[in-house]
Structure 1
Amino acid sequence: MTLLALGINHKTASVDLREKVAFSPEKLSLALQELKNHPEVSSAVIVSTCNRTEVYCELSQSGPGVIIDWLTKFHQITAEELMPSLYFHEQQAAARHLMRVACGLDSLVLGEPQILGQVKQSYSESKSNGTVVGTLEKLFQKTFTVAKRVRTETDIGGNAVSVAYAACSLARQIFEALSDVTMLLIGAGETIELVARHAAEQGCNRLIVANRTRERALNLAREFGAEVIGLEDIPAHLHRADIVISSTASPLPIVGKGMVETALKQRRNQPMLFVDIAVPRDVESQVGDLNDVYLYSVDDLHSIVEKNREQRKVAAIQAEAIITDESIAFVQWLRSLEAVDSIRDYRQYAEVIKRELLQRSLQAIANGTDPERALVELSNKLTNKLIHAPTKAMQQVAKDGESDKLVVIREALGLDSYND
C-alpha cells in the first residue's frame, strides 16, 4: 500500500484553476463514492477549500497517475491544464504534508487556525461516506494529535498576522472581555467581514454595522446578529460604541473630532477605541488627541502584524521540527506493520516444531526411555530445528558476498550482544 497526497493550492494554481478543481458540497459525496469504488483506492479523504484542493488516499500500487486520471475526468479538465500546478507526495512526504497543512504551515496566512477545522470536517465527511479506513485513518488521527502538540508547544497561532485579527487583538488588550462591549463596524467589505468574524469568535455579541449600502450591511447583520444603521446615523449612535473599527473607501473622513467629543460627553468619558483601517483615513487624526480615546491607524496595525509575522516564523521552525519527527515516527510504525505477518508465521513455525518434538519426547518417556535422556534429545533436536534456517541463510549470503545481509541476520539473532 502507498500513501499519497496530491493536489493544488494558492501557491501553485490561479483562482480560475482552483475554482475548476474545487469540490462543492453537492459533488463531494459523489467524488468520495467514486474513489471508494475505484479498484486501486482502498481509502480516501478530499480536502477542498478556497485555497486548496487535495486528495489523500491509500493506493494498492505506487504512483499518482490513477488519481490524476480520475481528477481530470471528474472535473472535465485536461491533464495539460492541471499538471503544471499539481504536486504530489508519497509515504513520509505525504504524512508530513498533511501535518503541515493541518498546522497552518502551508496556509496563505502562516499558522492560521481555520485550516485545522477544515481538515477535520473533510475527515468527518469521508467517515460519513465510509471512505477513510486503515492506515489513512490512523494518519489523520495522528495529524490531529500533532496539530494539538504544535499549538501547545509553539506560539504558531499566538500572534495576529492579519490586519482584521490585529484590530480585534488590540480591542482585547484594552477591553478584557469583548462579550461586555459594543462594537461599531463602519463599512461592510471583506476586511470588516473578517473583523466581525474574529470579534464573534472572541465573544462579542453586540455589533452595529454602519454602511452606505444597506443591503450589504444586512448580509453581515444576518450572519452575526448585528444591528444595521446608515453612515448618516453614526453621530446618533456613536456614544453606544466602546470600540469603533472602520474600513470604507470614502475619500473624506467619516468620524470627526467634534462628533467624538459629543459621544464622550454622553458616555461620561468612558474610554473608546478607534481602529482606522481605511486609506484614506475614515477617522480624523485629531481624534487621537482627545482624552479617553485610543486611536490606531492602518500603519500601526501593519507594524504589529509584521512583528507578529516574524515571531510566527520562529514558531514555524519549531513546528517544522516537530512535524518532521512525527512524520518519520508514523512511517516507521507503518513499516513495522509489514513485519507483523512474518513474526506471526515465525511464531507459528516455532510452535509447530515445539509441539511435534515435545509429543515425541513424551511418547518416548511413556515407552520407558529415561526422562533425562529424553530431555537432552528434545533440547538437541529443538535447537537444531530452530537454527537450521538461519544457518543456511548465513552460509548463502556469505557465499554471495552479501556482507550487509550477514550483518542484519547477526543483529536479528542477537549474536553481537552475545559476543559482548
Structure 2
Amino acid sequence: MTLLAFGINHTTAPLAIREKVAFAPETLEQALRQAREQAQLQEVAILSTCNRTEIYAASEAEAEQLTRWLVEHNQMGDYDLSSCCYCFRDEEAVSHMMKVAGGLDSLVLGEPQILGQMKSAYAVASQAGTIGGVLHTAFQQVFGIAKRVRSETGIGENPVSVAYAAVTLAQQIFSDLKEDTALLIGAGETIQLVARHLREQGMTRLIVANRTLERAHALAQEFAAEAILLADIPEQLHRADIVISSTASQLPLLGKGAVESALKKRKHKPMFMLDIAVPRDIEAEVGRLDDVYLYTVDDLHEVIDQNKQSRVAAADKAQSIIAEGVSHYRDQLRARDAVATIKAFRHQAESYRDVELEKALRVLAAGGDPEQILTQMARNLTNKLLHTPSANLREASTQGRADVIQIARELFDLSDDDLAGNAPDKETEDKRD
C-alpha cells in the first residue's frame, strides 16, 4: 500500500483556484467517503485551509485519478488542475506532511495553527471511518515530529502569523489604531488571534460578527467587544474603519452594494478590508471602489517575508528533526514488514507442530512406546521445518547466490564451529536457548 500526499497550496495555485477546491467543514465527512469510493482510495484524509487543500491517502491510485476526482467533486467542468497539483509518495509523502504540520510549508513560516488543522483533519477522517493502519501510523509520526519542531526549535517564537500580518498591514494604512473601529467577521482561531493583536496595539472598539450570536458573544466577552449577527453587518458596516473576515462560508458575505452604502454613510472616509477566507468572504468587485483598500490572504506575502528571517535558522534545525522522523517512519515500515513475515513463519511452524502432535497422541492412545513416539515426532517436525529452507539454500548455492547463504548463516546464528560440523559447547547452547 502506497502513502500519498496530493494537493495544491499557496505556492502552486492562486487564490482564485484554491477557493474552488476548498472544502467546507460540514461537507468533509461526505467528501471523504466519496473520495474513497470514486477515486479508489483504501484510506483517505483531507486537509483544507486558506492556503492549501491536500488529500492524504493509502492507495495505488495515480495523481491523475485524484486530480480528476477533485475537479469533478467541485464541479469545475473541464478545468485543467494538473499544473497546480503535486503528489508525493511514501517517504516523500510523510516528509511533506511533517513539513506542513511543523509550519515549514506555510505561507507564514512556523505558523502554529496548521498543526491543529491537521489534527482536525485526522479526527474528521477517523469519525468518517476512512482512516486505517497506513494513515494512522503516518499521522502519529507526523504529530510527534511537529511537537518536537515546536519544542526544540525557535520557529514559533516571534509573531509571524497570518493574524499578526493582518494587523501589521492595517497599521500601514492607519498609523494609530487606537482611534479606529474594527469589524471582525467570524469567530474562529484566526479571528481570535487578530482580536488579540489589535488589543495589544491599543484598539478598544471591536465588533465581532458571526452566524450565531452565542459564538460572537463568547469572543466579544473575551476582548470587551460588541457582538452582532452576520445579518446585521449591512446596518453596522459604516462604523468600521477596519474589516477583517475569516469564515468558512462557501458564498461571499459582503458585496459591492453593501460596501457602497456604508461608504456613503461614512462620507467616503477610507476603509481597510482584509479577506483572509478561502473561499473569499468579500466580493472581488469591492476592491474597485474608491476609498476601499481591499486585500486578500495572498497580499500578505510581503509583510510576512519582512518578519520571518529570524525563523530561518530554526527552520534548518526543524529540517533535521524531520529527517530523523522520516528515518524512524521508514524503520517502522520495515519492522511492520518483518512482523508480517514472522507471523506467517510462526503460523506455518505451529501448523507442522499441531499435525505431528496429533499423530503422536493417536499412537500413544493406541499403546505405542512413548520414547519411540517422541523421537519420531521430533524427527518429523525437524524434517518439515528444515525441508523448504534446505531446498532453497541448495538452489541458491547452485545459482552462486552467496548473499542468500550469508543471510541464512546470520538468520540461524551459525558459528564457524557449526559450519565445521562441531557440536556447540554448553555456553553456546545456553545463549541460543
TM over 0.5: yes
Matched, 1:318 2:307: no
Deviation per CA, 1:143-178, whole angstroms, max 9, x where unpaired?
222222221222221222359649999xxxxxxxxx
Look up the equivalent residue of 1:48 and give its one-letter code.
S
Q: Does 1:391 align with 2:390?
A: yes
Conserved in 2, the CA contact under 8 Å of 1:167 and 1:195? no
- Paired residue type of 1:218: I
Give the drift of 1:386: 1.2
Instruction: State whether structure 2 residue 1 is matched by structure 1 residue 6.
Output: no
Q: Percent identity?
A: 37
User: Closer, same or farther in 2 for the Cα pair 1:187/1:68, shift >3 Å?
Assistant: same
Other structure's SS at 1:157 match = coil
Q: Deviations over 1:256-315 (max 9, x none)?
A: xxxxxxxxxxxxxxxxxxxxxxxxxxxxxxxxxxxxxxxxxxxxxx9x996x73442222
Q: Sort the Cα spacing of 1:383 and 1:91 in 2 relative to 1 into closer, same or farther, 3 A.
A: same
Q: Quickly say closer, same or farther: Cα 1:385–1:128, change in 2 above 3 A.
A: closer
How many angstroms does 1:137 deviate by? 2.7
Match of 2:51 in 1: 51
1:225-236 matches, cutoff 5 A: 225-227=223-225
Structure 2 residue aligned with 1:90: 89
Label 1:370 to 1:40 Cα distance change in 2 as closer, same or farther (>3 A): same
1:338-417 equivalences in 2 (<5 Å): 338-361=337-360, 371-415=370-414
Look up the match of 1:235: none
Q: Within 1, Cα distance between the matches of 2:69 and 2:240?
A: 52
User: What is residue 153 of structure 2 aligned with on the other side?
Assistant: 154
1:218 to 179, 199, 207: 207
- Post-superposition Cα deviations, 1:200-239, rounded to whole Å, max 9, x if no partner, equal 55896997445xxxxxx6357966454589899xxxxxxx
CA positional deviation for 1:369: 6.3
1:198 corresponds in structure 2 to 193
Report if the CA contact (8 A) 2:163-2:197 is conserved: no
SS in structure 1 at match of 2:119: helix
Partner Cα separation in structure 1 for residue 352 and residue 6 of structure 2: 48
Q: Residue 245 of structure 1 aligns with which residue?
A: none
Output the CA distance in 1 between the equivalents of 2:338 and 2:225: 64
Provide the rounded CA distance (Å) in 1 between the counterparts of 2:354 and 2:120: 53
**Is contact 2:9–2:18 with CA below 8 Å preserved after alignment?**
yes
Do residues 40 (structure 1) and 40 (structure 2) align?
A: yes
- Report the Cα offset of residue 37 of structure 1: 2.9
Structure 1: gaps (5+ residues): 170-182, 211-216, 233-247, 251-301
Taking only aligned residues, the RMSD between alpha carbons, in angstroms, comes to 4.2
- Give the whole-Å Cα distance in 2 for the aligned partners of 1:136 and 1:55: 11
Q: Distance in 1 between matches of 2:45 and 2:362?
A: 59
Shift of 1:97: 1.2
Q: TM-score, normalised by structure 1?
A: 0.65
Q: Distance in 1 between matches of 2:365 and 2:145?
A: 61
Provide structure 2 residue ranges, at least 5 long, that are not aligned to the other structure: 169-176, 211-215, 227-237, 242-268, 272-302, 420-427, 429-433
Tell me the secondary structure at the aligned position of residue 138 of structure 1: helix
How many matched pairs? 330
Q: Structure 1 residue 56: deviation in Å?
A: 0.9
Contact 1:166 1:305 in 2 (8 A): no
Moved more, 323-332 or 388-397: 323-332
Q: Residue 361 and residue 29 in structure 1: after superposition, are their counterparts in 2 closer, same or farther (change >3 A)?
A: closer
* 1:364 and 1:374 in contact (8 A); partners too: yes
Paired residue secondary structure (1:106): coil
